[in-house]
Amino acid sequence: MERIQTVVIGGGQAGLSVGYHLRRRGLPFVILDAHDRVGDTWRTRWDSLRLFTPARFNGLDGAPFPAKPWTFPTKDEMAEYLEAYARRFALPVRTGVRVTRLSRNGTGYLVETTNGRFEAENVVVAMSNYQAPRTPPFAGDLNGHVVQLHAKRYRNPLQLQPGGVLIVGAGNSGADIGMEVVQTHRTWLAGRDTGQIPFRIEGVPARLFAVRFVIRFLFHHVLTVRTPVGRKARPKLISHGGPRIRVKAADLAAAGVERVPRMAGVKDGKPLLADGRVLDVANVIWCTGFHPGFDWIDLPIVGDHEPLHHRGIVASHPGLYFVGLHFLFSLSSAMIHGVGRDAARIVDHLAARRSSREAVRDQPGASPEPPTTRRPASLYVGR
């Protein structure tokens, strides 16, 4: 058993951002990450992935991204940046440590891992909602010879066998993968149209105006839980995702990707579309999203799409926090340029809670918890 004031679960951009602000305040902590190296969350994504935001918006607090401002880094460049960030600020990341259970332990928490147990006053779960791949129940009814891959496991077209490819899910991942796969396989893209941003993310007009407006103003300041438009948009964006950013409908058509209705089921071992058509394909790539993947949290705080929280603070369990969730405070919360603001606020709250606990301990007979934190967590979701 190891005792430490704060355990941060997850060593991606969210966990490192929390670590940066904890380090600045001189608070003791450890970051636990299941991967072998910092940045492996990015390294294990598909080979051709590039970030949707230019380098000038891809730096974490304290360290700009080391690339020309209007270039779009690859996923491996992002991974190397995160690893260098952890070294630069001497963040205590322990890799290869998977958390298997989080539970209450008196007034604190017990964190059980594949490499021992931790007692902590505070726990920051610094992980996104994108943990456990989601596929529909009828995926198991497809013919056994059909190669099935979730976007989380897809790397490149060499994983596919000869024959057609059906990509299920027409958001950013589906469109990006479709543009790559169609170069070697006949490709269908199924699912509702998620829409698209009305400009080219890599064009000159975007560089001069649109990117700054969308990323820094719209995503960061307008679409937040503080604004009526943000609160209205939040449930839909959490459950269905946002518009396509890089790939346009015209790009898909020009490349030869055939758009079809959503996949409704399986007939005779083959994909059945909502319009009644049956596709004879050799491969299916599921770009169908993720489950939150928080079943290891042994606390009554996980809802259908996200934990019960208010801007990352779990009111019903003082000392428990989340950072990195989709739309935690704003649409930019799960983006690299937006996670630092959430991390700083969580660390401010954590530090204030610590000061309050220390003050209470100096008063004999007083409760160790600040009285202002005891409210039902369900009151805080999306507010």
Q: Where are the domains of the chain?
A: 2-131+292-380, 134-286
Q: Both tokens of residue 295?
A: 């079943």
Do residues 302 and 322 lie in contact, with contact meaning Cβ atoms separated by under 8 Å?
A: no
- Residues with Cβ within 8 Å of residue 180, at least 6 apart in sequence: 46, 48, 156, 157
Q: What is the mean pLDDT of residues 53-65?
A: 95
* 368 compared with 100, residue with greater pLDDT: 100
- Confidence class of residue 314 from pLDDT cuts 50, 70 and 90? very high
Q: What is the mean pLDDT of residues 159-164?
A: 98
Residue 126 has a pLDDT of 96
Residue 111 has a pLDDT of 98
Residue 364 has a pLDDT of 60
Task: Answer yes or no: is pLDDT of 380 > 50.
Answer: no
- Residues with Cβ within 8 Å of residue 101, at least 6 apart in sequence: 110, 111, 112, 296, 298
Q: Is the pTM of this model over 0.75?
A: yes
Percent of the chain residues past pLDDT 90, beyond the cut: 74
**Residue 252: how many other CB atoms lie within 10 Å:** 21
- Confidence class of residue 361 from pLDDT cuts 50, 70 and 90? low
Bridging pattern class, strands 132-133 and 29-33: unpaired
Give the CATH superfamily of 134-286: FAD/NAD(P)-binding domain (3.50.50.60)
Task: Give how far the C-alpha of residue 190 lies from the chain's centroid of Cα atoms, to the nearest Å.
Answer: 23
Task: Give how far the C-alpha of residue 195 lies from the chain's centroid of Cα atoms, to the nearest Å.
Answer: 20
Task: Answer yes or no: is pLDDT of 26 > 70.
Answer: yes
- Residues with Cβ within 8 Å of residue 153, at least 6 apart in sequence: 133
What's the CA gap between 149 and 284, in Å, rounded?
Answer: 6
- Confidence class of residue 383 from pLDDT cuts 50, 70 and 90? very low
What's the CA gap between 3 and 56, in Å, rounded?
Answer: 39
**2-131+292-380 and 134-286 agree in CATH topology:** yes
Task: Answer yes or no: is pLDDT of 236 > 50.
Answer: yes
Q: What is the mean pLDDT of residues 14-36?
A: 97
What's the CA gap between 267 and 288, in Å, rounded?
Answer: 20
Do residues 126 and 334 lie in contact, with contact meaning Cβ atoms separated by under 8 Å?
A: no
Q: What is the mean pLDDT of residues 59-82?
A: 96
Q: Both tokens of residue 323?
A: 């950072």
Tell me which of 134-148, 190-204, 266-280, 362-376 is least confident.
362-376
Residue 374 has a pLDDT of 36
Q: What is the CATH number of domain 2-131+292-380?
A: 3.50.50.60
Q: Which of 20, 75, 13 is nearest to 43 (CA)?
A: 75
Do residues 96 and 82 lie in contact, with contact meaning Cβ atoms separated by under 8 Å?
A: no
- Confidence class of residue 239 from pLDDT cuts 50, 70 and 90? confident
Tell me which of 100-104, 198-202, 226-230, 275-279 is least confident.
198-202
Q: What is the mean pLDDT of residues 122-127?
A: 96
256: left (phi over 0), alpha (psi -120 to 50) or beta: left
Residue 359 has a pLDDT of 65
Q: Which of 247, 79, 233 is nearest to 175 (CA)?
A: 247
What's the CA gap between 120 and 105, in Å, rounded?
Answer: 9
